[in-house]
Homo-oligomer: A and B are copies of this chain.
Amino acid sequence: MTIEPDTGGTDTVFHGYFRSSAAYRCRIAFNLKGFAPAQRFVHLRKGEQKSAAYKALSPAGLVPALETPRGVLTQSLAIIEWLDETMPDPALLPADAWTRAKARAFAQTIACDIHPVNNLRILGYLKTPLGHDQATVDTWYRHWIAEGLSAAEALAQDAGGHGSFLFGDAPGLAEICLVPQLYNARRFACPMEAYPRLLAVETACNALPAFADAAPDRQPDAEG
A70 touches B82 (CB 8 A): no
A143 touches B125 (CB 8 A): yes
Chain B residues within 8 Å of A70, by CB? 98
B101 touches A81 (CB 8 A): yes
A77 to B109, CA, bound (A): 11
Within A54-88, the residues touching B (CB, 8 Å) are 58-62, 70-71, 73-75, 77-79, 81-82, 85-86
The answer to the question of A92 belonging to the interface, with a C-beta cut-off of 8 Å to chain B, is: no
**Distance (whole angstroms) from the CB of A126 to the closest CB of chain B:** 8
Determine chain A's interface SS by DSSP, over half rule: helix
B112 touches A111 (CB 8 A): yes
- When all copies of this chain in the complex are counted, the total is 2
Within A110-137, the residues touching B (CB, 8 Å) are 111-113, 115-117, 121-122, 125, 130, 132, 136
A116 to B121, CA, bound (A): 13
The answer to the question of A148 belonging to the interface, with a C-beta cut-off of 8 Å to chain B, is: yes
The answer to the question of A197 belonging to the interface, with a C-beta cut-off of 8 Å to chain B, is: no
A112 to B148, CA, bound (A): 14
> Which of B75, B100, B147 interacts with A85 by CB under 8 Å?
B100
**Distance (whole angstroms) from the CB of A114 to the closest CB of chain B:** 9
Known: A98-B70, A116-B116, A125-B143. A75 touches B130 (CB 8 A): no
A109 touches B154 (CB 8 A): no
Query: Which 5 residue pairs are nearest across A and B when measured between Cβ atoms?
Result: A59-B154, A60-B151, A82-B101, A78-B105, A78-B104
Q: Which residues of A contact B (CB under 8 A)?
A: 58-62, 70-71, 73-75, 77-79, 81-82, 85-86, 97-98, 100-102, 104-105, 108-109, 111-113, 115-117, 121-122, 125, 130, 132, 136, 140, 143, 147-148, 150-151, 153-155, 158
Q: A111-B112, A113-B116 are known contacts; what are 15 more A-B pairs with Cβ within 8 Å?
A: A59-B150, A59-B151, A60-B113, A62-B113, A71-B98, A75-B104, A75-B108, A75-B112, A79-B105, A81-B104, A82-B97, A82-B100, A82-B101, A82-B104, A116-B117
